[in-house]
Structure 1
Amino acid sequence: MTGSQVKKAGVTDVDGVTPPVKGILRHVKWEHLVAGVSGGAASTLLLHPLDLVKIRFQVNEGTATVGHIDRPEYRGIVDAFRTIRKTSGFTGLYQGVKPNVLGSASSWGFYFMFYNSIKTFMQDGDTKVDLGAGKHTLAASGAGLLTLVLTNPLWVVKTRLCLQYETNITSIKPEKYYSGMIDALYKIYKYEGVLGLYKGFIPGMFGISHGAIQFVCYEEMKTKYNNFKQRPIDYRLNSAEYIAFAALSKIIAATVTYPYQVVRSRLQDQHRSYTGISDVIRQIYRYEGLWAFYKGLTPNLLRVTPACCITFVVYENIISLSFHRN
């Protein structure tokens, strides 16, 4: 084969070495993006009210008044649902749903695409190669960082809209009141700059460990299960098996890494100001105690566990359909 034939075939460059970027791009499969977006959107639409309640619990400092804002007080999850529905109607349970759906759908889509591209690159295209926990962690961490950079502004907007209490509209400064997702993006950028759209980014980076733990657990459980069944590690499982592994991996990851979500929500709250992450941590620990870092954990687990199961089942089934088509 001549040098020009080699180059045309896409095997090597003129120096006989495959460029790493080309190697990674060669393994990008758009069906992972489509499948992740579909699963993320479906689960978020179904379970957004629990996310709304979780965020309100996370920022609750044990006092009803913060600055000029009177935060509603809830005695529990059921009381929160009743109160929000009573004061804001059924649509009140879906405050912030647009950026949440867009954020979750794009996050899952990008994450699955980046993760599988990096993983397949490490396997050199052979899906039967067992990478082990170390390389799975590396792939998940890389995918998490890339996804966070692209989606952090949407999470800021979602948090702001979820913390917009209907009973306090008249007391909110115009620049802090948002009529919707686009208005929130515009006002945050106008009054707070690019940095405003990336509030909570640093604790979000700690949250990359959440995805890493979840995906490592998920991949290792699937691998060990297929090994136990004496099947190839890329063998397609049934929906019940995917649900079991997705639920277990999500519960483990969510419980271990939950405090970063509380810190991030507080930093993104438009009604409070902190000097930084250390200030948030210090004030939470000093005034509310250690368990305050787990405020909202129950509604979070009630939301993320079925959400993860729905996302992974939709994702895996779309990928299975794409394999059958090929």
Structure 2
Amino acid sequence: MSNNDQTSGASHNIRGLLCNAGAGAAAGAMAATFVCPLDVIKTRLQVHGLPSTHKGSVIITSLQNIVRNEGFRGMYRGLSPTILALLPNWAVYFTSYEQLKSLLRSHDGCNELTTIGNIIAAAGAGAATAISTNPLWVVKTRLQTQGMRPGVVPYKSVLSAFKRITHEEGLRGLYSGIVPSLAGVSHVAIQFPAYEKIKSYMAKKDNTTVDKLSPGSVAISSSISKVIASVMTYPHEVIRSRLQEQGQAKNIVVQYEGVIDCTKKVFQKEGIPGFYRGCATNLLRTTPSAVITFTSYEMLHRFLERVIPQDKGYPQDRSRPSEHNRPRQEASGIDVKSGTDREQPPSQSNMKAPSIPLGNKEQLTRH
């Protein structure tokens, strides 16, 4: 491989990283802001169960309670750490996912990954994301639920929460809930392969390619895959939220010793429904969130690929360099004798090569 090839490859790699990270971070921030009130309600239902005075819709009652007790700002508790978490969360996730997909494609030698390949890429990206962003999710959970514990000194800000958790609980506090978070890798291991499969089906149905799907088709693919994954993996979110929140209550005996203990106690006290507390609210939150995130990501990614300049040595189409080399290699027997292809621009030789009889030197020299 020449130095130009290596430089261009590195340039394309950096450009790809920028496109994936930028589109993922922006899409995640947009979705988080839109669905934050539902996220607050979902987290509180997971941790504290149903409101004692609710009549009719749980969501409406919860919103009324939040506005009455905490004001309008209460609906957006935890938005700052949510965005702070989602910026690296989706940036790390989409970047890792695309890199792993590229790596697996190079080993398989084919353009389209198998379902197993998609699962491996999604799970690997999910694990990297969970480990790198868990402290931010702990802070988010604490900020969203602290208004429901009157005996707890509230955190004043994201920075205040980080300082206090680190000082009072150490690294263990920042990584509380990491085990169920890693178990949550199963969520993306279901969601992303399902998303890829549904996108492929939609592309075939619309007689187009996956990277040219309409926003409507992307929205349908993301919503269906999200509902499937959420319903199948929701119990781990309940366990994670309860473990992340309990460290805040200093004057109360620790309720759960760990994942297994928490699972047993939830099952004994609340049965199977206990593992699905807030699931309906979660679907109302995550489905539009997934639609916004994935559709925004796809559109922003396409936009960034157009805006961010490529290396000048390569045309826009990534397959063009290999196509440029191929006609010269195929016609090498003719080039040695006539030298005509070397004098022509590549585009001319590419266009005219198929119409030239191989044995006719007069026509070759004329071109």
Q: TM-score range by the shorter chain?
A: 0.7 to 0.9
Equivalence for 1:196: 173
Corresponding position: 1:324 with 2:301: no
CA deviation digits over 1:7-62, x for unaligned, max 9?
78549xxxxxxxxxx9xx77952211110111100011111010100011111257
Determine which structure has greater relative contact order: mean sequence separation of CA pairs < 8 Å that are 6+ residues apart, divided by chain length.
Answer: 1
CA deviation digits over 1:140-171, x for unaligned, max 9?
01100111111000010011111111671xx2
Equivalence for 1:42: 30
SS at match of 2:204: helix
Cα distance in 2, alignment partners of residues 95 and 9 from structure 1: 50
Could you state the TM-score of these two structures normalised by the residue count of structure 1? 0.84
Equivalence for 1:77: 59
Q: Which runs of 5 or more structure 2 residues have no equivalent in the other structure? A: 308-315, 317-367
Per-residue deviation, 1:273: 3.3
1:29 aligned residue (14, 17, 40): 17
Contact 2:49-2:277 at 8 Å conserved across structures:
no
Equivalence for 1:266: 242
Q: Report the CA distance shift for 1:109/1:49 in structure 2 as closer, same or farther (over 3 A).
A: same
Could you state the TM-score of these two structures normalised by the residue count of structure 2? 0.75
Cα distance in 2, alignment partners of residues 50 and 298 from structure 1: 10
- Matched to 2:229, the amino acid is A
Cα distance in 2, alignment partners of residues 97 and 322 from structure 1: 26
Corresponding position: 1:137 with 2:119: yes
Q: Report the CA distance shift for 1:126/1:290 in structure 2 as closer, same or farther (over 3 A).
A: closer
Alignment of 1:97-116 (within 5 A): 97-116=79-98
Q: Report the CA distance shift for 1:242/1:118 in structure 2 as closer, same or farther (over 3 A).
A: same
Cα distance in 1, alignment partners of residues 53 and 88 from structure 2: 33
Q: Which runs of 5 or more structure 1 residues have no equivalent in the other structure? A: 12-21, 63-70
Alignment of 1:204-283 (within 5 A): 204-232=181-209, 234-269=210-245, 270-271=248-249, 272-283=254-265
Q: Report the CA distance shift for 1:229/1:240 in structure 2 as closer, same or farther (over 3 A).
A: closer
Per-residue deviation, 1:227: 3.5
- Matched to 2:261, the amino acid is D
Per-residue deviation, 1:127: 11
Identity %: 33
- Matched to 1:45, the amino acid is T
CA deviation digits over 1:83-138, x for unaligned, max 9?
11011110011111111111123211110111011112222399981111100000
Q: Find the structure with the greater CA-based Rg.
A: 2
Contact 1:207-1:257 at 8 Å conserved across structures:
yes
- Matched to 1:36, the amino acid is G
- Matched to 2:39, the amino acid is D
Q: Report the CA distance shift for 1:166/1:285 in structure 2 as closer, same or farther (over 3 A).
A: closer
Cα distance in 2, alignment partners of residues 27 and 143 from structure 1: 19
Contact 1:27-1:117 at 8 Å conserved across structures:
no
